Copies of this chain bind each other. A is one copy, B any other.
């Protein structure tokens, strides 16, 4: 693209002697020969001369023999290497060609200024506008799945079933018939009539959110291929963290320390003496490690969907090595897309900050998962809180011996 010294508009195309429009592929040449050369190379076209391979080539008859025209292009020095890789199509929406000008002798030197001379001053955008990307296909899937899960959470639907039934039955979230029938809010779940939470509310929402967790798990394609024992372990490992995440994110913001459930039950930093000390402590962890950071970062629903998936797909669960590998790969893929999404949304500076904070929350989630299981176990064992059979299956396995093993392993 360095202007060749000494070129003037009077120069002629070295191929056909037409008026040259500049240097093309290293040679002063006209538009026609330039385009002809490029097309020939790009389409790898081969020509054959009908005569003696020495046809004359000039402006009037340059189209007569393509073989000899191309030969001439090469002879005068057109350089194949000056061709570039195909570019993206521009796709003109409409023909913006100027009104054909009458050709005159002097217009060629002065015409530029009329249209090009005073372009309006282009200024950068004042504010960053939304640049949402379609590149994050998986994120969109996760996000709409999250929407369905929330619809179901607000509904009345809550089946009684064993853990095995829950994990092996047909997925509901991806079933349009089911969702049409049940996926609308219950009148009781409209976040109205606030009242302080009671034991029965905790139970109700834990049961609901554990039910939702099993459906959420099944909504991952990879999940169906895992051995049953891995499914149980994965859901068990997420048994505390996912409900906590869901409860925090879906709570309307009624102050920094308040979590509201859809039926209006709420809790805050109030110490509840009737609950085991461990569960009170977990409540504070939930406020400090999840609610506050998520509000600080201002996690949006796409980011939430991704982070929830990252939290669920935890290779630290006690599953087979093959399942660990699959889960890790899935997790990394989501993490990468999440980063891309955040960069597009906020720009690199802010995105890297928010991304780091969000991803580093996963270590807090792990801590909660680990400690809470212990606390739940102790709560049940010593306080006789009375979990449902489903919850006991979820956390403790099918029999008491297994529990003992877990406690001391």
Contact = CB atoms under 8 A, between A and B. Distances in A.
- Which 10 pairs between the two chains have the least Cβ-Cβ distance? A53-B135, A370-B370, A366-B366, A363-B366, A335-B356, A362-B363, A77-B348, A63-B87, A316-B367, A366-B367
A50 B86 CA distance: 14
Interface stretch (A40-48, A210-218, A226-234): A40-48
Given A52-B137, A64-B87, A316-B363, 19 more contacts: A41-B125, A46-B131, A49-B135, A63-B85, A63-B87, A64-B88, A71-B133, A71-B340, A74-B343, A75-B343, A75-B348, A79-B348, A84-B124, A85-B124, A89-B121, A289-B316, A314-B363, A362-B363, A366-B367
Contacts of A324: 288
A86 B64 contact: yes
A28 interface: no
| Of A46, A124, A126, most B-chain CB atoms within 10 Å | A124
A24 B365 CA distance: 38
A103 interface: no
Given A41-B125, A71-B135, A85-B60, A335 B360 contact: yes
Nearest to A54: B135
Contact of A347 (B79, B128, B315, B369): B79
A365 B314 CA distance: 12
A79 B363 contact: no
Interface in A55-84: 60-61, 63-66, 71, 74-75, 77-81, 83-84
A222 interface: no
A147 interface: no
B66 A88 contact: yes
Given A53-B134, A84-B63, A123-B42, A356 B370 contact: no
A106 interface: no
A153 B277 CA distance: 41
Interface in A310-365: 310, 314-316, 321, 324, 328, 331-332, 335-336, 339-340, 343-344, 347-349, 352-353, 356-357, 359-360, 362-365
B360 A122 contact: no
A65 to B, nearest CB: 6
A344 B71 contact: yes
Nearest to A129: B44
A315 B352 contact: no
A89 B118 CA distance: 13
Contacts of A46: 131
Contacts of A362: 360, 362-363
A64 B87 CA distance: 4
A74 B278 CA distance: 45
Nearest to A369: B367
A164 to B, nearest CB: 26
Nearest to A131: B46
A77 B342 CA distance: 12
Nearest to A27: B348
A80 B50 contact: no
Interface string A9-36: 0000000000000000010000000000
A409 B63 contact: no
A52 to B, nearest CB: 8
B42 A378 contact: no
Interface string A272-291: 00000110010000001100
Contacts of A370: 366-367, 370-371
B357 A332 contact: yes
A375 B44 CA distance: 54
Contact of A332 (B85, B128, B360): B360
18 contacts: A44-B129, A49-B135, A52-B135, A53-B135, A63-B87, A71-B340, A74-B343, A74-B348, A75-B340, A80-B347, A81-B349, A277-B409, A278-B408, A281-B409, A289-B316, A332-B360, A335-B356, A360-B362
